[in-house]
Amino acid sequence: MTETQAMEGSKSRSERPTILVIDDTKENLLVIGTALKESYRIRLAKDGPGGIEAAHGSPRPDLILLDVMMPGIDGYEVLSELQKSAVTRDIPVIFVTTLNSDEDEERGLSLGAVDYITKPIRAAILTARVRTHLAMKQIRDHLKNQNTLLELKVQERTEALKTALERAEAAHSSLRKTYFGTLKAISELAEMRGGPVGAHSQRVANLARQVALHSDMNDAETQDVFVAALLHDVGMIGFPEEIYHKPVSAMTGQELALYRRHPTIGATIIGKIEKMDTVANIIQHHHEHYDGTGFPNRLSGFEIPYGSRIILAVSDYDALKHGKLTSQPLSPKQSFQYLIDECGRRYDPSVIEILEPLLSNDESFEIDEVRVEALHLQEGMILARDILHPDGFLLLAKGTQVKRRIIDQIVDVEKRTGTNLEIFVNRL
């Protein structure tokens, strides 16, 4: 018979969530139990078989902390067994392990773990992650209960076809509202961290929806973009404060490596919600760059979901304005100029083309000039700045109207000198 134990805290345990800790090391069980026992009911198992048995026992755990490296049945096998059972497959599992490579973490998340904590254990990080995932489970359970209630109501009203259809439609509408409210609650969990981001996700979602509406996306696709934008940073919920509040440009190499995991973590969290695969995929790739230099999968061009391309541009624009990407906030005009400068490299040109007129009413934002490549010049454009030859002399003066011979001249200079000229034209 497998040994399991229960640890009691000083508070009443009747209403507290139950956490099952599976680890073959007594010291680790003691550290985790001590860190969590004041707020949660703790059950302990010292090996894989004992953990599987405890997970099926009473009280049923609300969350499982699982070691990977254990003799006999390791953590990966334990997770596989838990997911085979209808009784335990919905219990969120967090791996707690000394394995700390990106490959180890990716394997754990791909097998169905909701998070990955490396040893040695830091109590503050452990409690924050546990608190976050218990809140997420409560939301998922609520949504599942709502679906179950809806099914029962529909079954009870099959006697009259017209009445059944009317009531099913009304119930479905109510469920959609509850469903969206649940997603909004998930977003607000991230926003509760505050800092320079503020209501970043809501602002990004609103603007991303406008871009999607002006593209060829249908209503369902537009809604997916909106929801994905609302949740695109949910993978950062459990990040340490010093990373969450620091501009990306100021992060250390180690902090940047952790930051770059948030799309995958967020996609894993959202992907566990029924019918959210498309949204999860958009979140997974919202930091991919158009030229293939982004993360996590270095996709490029049309390989990147269009919704992800929209969110990258809109999120960066908002982050630049609020000092999340750079040490100092940029003006709306400066922020959009950055998007223009990176068009075709970091950003999809078709997204920037749609975004430009939408931003024309943003605060004091006025785009009076835009930078263009020589090959993108068109007849009738007016130069907003002087164009200087690489040797320093004036090639073309500000105010010159572009004609075909001028375009050919500029292209020829770039070919002969092997440089890209700085070309700015007035906004049409």
- pLDDT confidence bin for 15, thresholds 50/70/90: confident
In this prediction, residue 176 carries a pLDDT of 47
Contact 227, 279 (CB under 8 A): yes
Residue 6: per-residue pLDDT: 44
- How does residue 196 score in pLDDT terms, banded at 50, 70 and 90? very low
What is the pLDDT at residue 278?
93
Q: What is the pLDDT of residues 20-45, one digit of tens each?
A: 999 999 998 999 999 998 899 999 99
Residue 198: the pLDDT is 44
Q: Which helix (H) or strand (E) holds 18?
A: strand 18-22
pLDDT at 188: 55
Of the CATH numbers 3.40.50.300, 3.90.105.10, 3.30.70.100, 2.40.128.20, which one belongs to the domain with range 370-426?
Answer: 3.90.105.10
CA atoms within 13 A on the CB side of 164: 10
Query: Where is average pLDDT lowest: 130-134, 173-177, 221-225, 397-401?
Result: 173-177
User: What is the spatial distance between Cα 37 and Cα 326, in angstroms, rounded to a whole number?
Assistant: 41
- pLDDT above 50 (res 48): yes
**Residue-level length of the chain:** 428
Instruction: Give residue limits of the domains in the chain.
Output: 4-121, 135-192, 194-367, 370-426
Do 194-367 and 4-121 fall under one CATH topology?
no
Question: Is residue 392's pLDDT more than 70?
Answer: no
Dist. CA 164–CA 148, nearest whole Å: 17
Residue 233 has pLDDT above 80, yes or no: yes
CATH fold of 194-367: Hypothetical protein af1432 (1.10.3210)
Which one has a higher pLDDT value, 320 or 367? 320
Q: How confident is the model at residue 1 (pLDDT cuts 50, 70, 90)?
A: very low
Q: Give CA–CA dist 200/177, Å, rounded.
A: 22
Inter-residue contact 272 to 283 (CB < 8 Å): no
pLDDT exceeds 70 at position 134 = yes
- What is the tens place of the pLDDT at every residue in 309-366? 999 999 999 999 888 888 778 888 889 999 999 999 999 999 999 998 888 765 545 5
Residue, of 283 and 153, whose pLDDT is higher: 283
For residue range 275-309, list pLDDT tens digits in order: 789 999 999 999 999 999 999 999 999 999 999 99
pTM: 0.47
Q: What is the CATH code for 4-121?
A: 3.40.50.2300
Confidence (pLDDT) at 269: 85
Which pLDDT tens digit goes with each residue over 202-213? Answer: 889 889 989 998
**Residue 47 clears pLDDT 90, i.e. is over it:** yes
Mean pLDDT value across residues 141-158? 69
pLDDT (tens digit, 9 = 90+) per residue, 77-123?
999 999 999 999 989 999 998 887 878 778 888 888 888 888 888 88
pLDDT for res 159? 55
Closest C-alpha among 383, 421, 420 to residue 403: 383
